[in-house]
Amino acid sequence: MVESKYVSGRDGASRGSYTLITDAGVEIKTAYEAEVNAYTDTKNTKLGGVATNATKYPDTGEQAFLDADRTKLDGIPERGAEDAVAGDYLELANDAQWSTQTTFYVKLKETYISRAGAYRVKFSIKTMVGGISCYGRIYKNGEAVGLLRSNISTSYIEYSEDIAGLARGDLLQIYCKSQFAGQQTRVINFRLYTDNPLHSIIIT
């Protein structure tokens, strides 16, 4: 014999409002499963069909997103850009002229590297007193990485060197000094070149 029970109205509008139901379990379950996010028998059956350590979704057969897939994504360069390769296409020009009269190296130019890889680095230096040497060198994050360059001419001479192993966030710099204190050394046209530039290049 099914036991009859009184339960309060679901809307809670009146504490004195009660409804007589003859099969509390069935009716409560039916009312619950009518909710949008209810955990129903159908959902329970579907969940039961998923194997332990499953690699596919049972309904679509599509591959699940696994740890191995995450590892592959981690290997994709940021912004989808491949590493820079040193070449002859101008990637960035830091052309302003700067100078120093010190006999120790000081930083005169600096460029932020936004894409890892290798770059062809060019810069030009000259002395303001003919026959007296001026010096320039490529640095990375405050450490010398390029060859020591010198010029005794009052005309600019351009130097070129490929610098590899750069990471995103590195700072490429040009440090300069003069042979004698008070003798001015100038640097200009600090430029980076690649074989695979991120932007379009005008050829003619």
Is residue 161 in some structural domain?
yes
**Residue 154: inside a domain:** yes
Q: Tell me, what's the pLDDT at 29?
A: 73
In a domain, 97, yes or no: yes
Q: Is 177 part of any domain?
A: yes
- Give me the pLDDT at residue 12, please: 44
Q: Which two tokens stand for residue 109?
A: 């130019």
Note whether 175 and 136 are within 8 A (CB): yes
In a domain, 36, yes or no: no
pLDDT of residue 100: 97
Domain residues for 187? 83-194
Give CA separation, 134 vs 4, 110, 146, 172, 185, in Å: 103, 19, 16, 20, 5
pLDDT tens, the chain, 204 aa long: 445 444 555 444 444 555 555 556 676 777 777 777 777 777 777 766 666 666 555 555 555 666 666 666 665 555 556 899 999 999 999 999 999 999 999 999 999 999 999 999 999 999 999 999 999 999 999 999 999 999 999 999 999 999 999 999 999 999 999 999 999 999 999 999 999 998 887 877
CB 95 within 8 Å of CB 108: no
Q: Is residue 90 part of a domain?
A: yes
Q: How far apart are CA 18 and CA 16, in angstroms?
A: 6
Specify if 13 maps to a domain: no
The reported pLDDT for the residue numbered 17 is 52
Helix (H, G, I), strand (E, B) or coil at 62: coil
Q: What is the model's pTM?
A: 0.61
**Residue 86 confidence (pLDDT):** 97
The span from the CA of 128 to the CA of 90, in Å, is 28
Residue 155's domain is classified under what CATH number? 2.60.120.260
**Nearest by Cα to 198 from 37, 84, 40:** 84
- In a domain, residue 51? The reply is no
The total domain count for the chain is: 1
Which helix (H) or strand (E) covers residue 187, if one does? strand 185-194
Distance CA 148, CA 159 (A): 10
